[in-house]
Amino acid sequence: MRKITEIIVHCTATRERLDIGAAEIDRYHRQRGFDSIGYHYVVRLDGSIEKGRDESAVGAHCLSHNVCSIGVAYVGGLDADGKPKDTRTPAQKRSLSALLTELRRRYPGAKIHGHRDFAAKACPCFDATKEYVAL
């Protein structure tokens, strides 16, 4: 198994209320040349959690951090006009917290970060590092 030192939170950069899932993201990522979905988990608007890549597989979600990380994306991140916005539903917030708690239990040394901590992007459109520091 890979040594996981980071859990990186993303948004899918889709407009609020547009509900997509792992299958749609997988198709999009394959069109971009990935061998499969880049994230390990996707949290849909209703809070359901879909598996993406197997945790044992290196992700394709954060340049220079994929080898040692698990990528988690929530669906959303843009307002109706396409501008960055924290669009997480209450169900997504609960599911993200539960999923991240479980991942931290399995990978106790891993730190939780937002994609924006490593790239010049708004993703995930909230400060994940600060929000999840206590997990």
Residue ranges of domains in the chain: 6-131
Choosing from 65, 85, 113, 115, the catalytic residue is: 115
Consecutive H or E run containing 7: strand 6-11
CATH number for the domain running over 6-131: 3.40.80.10
123 is catalytic: yes
Our answer to whether residue 121 is catalytic in this structure is yes
SS (H, E, C) 60-125: CCCCCCHHHEEEEEECCEECCCCCECCCCCHHHHHHHHHHHHHHHHHCCCCEEEEHHHCCCCCCCC
| Cα distances (Å, whole numbers) of residue 89 to 39, 74, 86, 97, 131 | 20, 10, 9, 12, 15
Contact 99, 132 (CB under 8 A): no
Q: Active-site residue among 10, 61, 65, 113?
A: 10
Give the Cα separation of 5 and 95 in Å (integer): 21
**How many whole angstroms separate alpha carbon 99 and alpha carbon 127?**
17
Q: Is 68 annotated in the active site?
A: no
Choice among 39, 41, 74, 107 that is catalytic: 39
pLDDT (0 to 100) of residue 97? 98
pLDDT in tens, the chain (135 residues): 789 999 999 999 999 999 999 999 999 999 999 999 999 999 999 999 999 999 999 999 999 999 999 999 999 999 999 999 999 999 999 999 999 999 999 999 999 999 999 999 999 999 999 999 999
Q: What is the pLDDT of residue 2?
A: 87
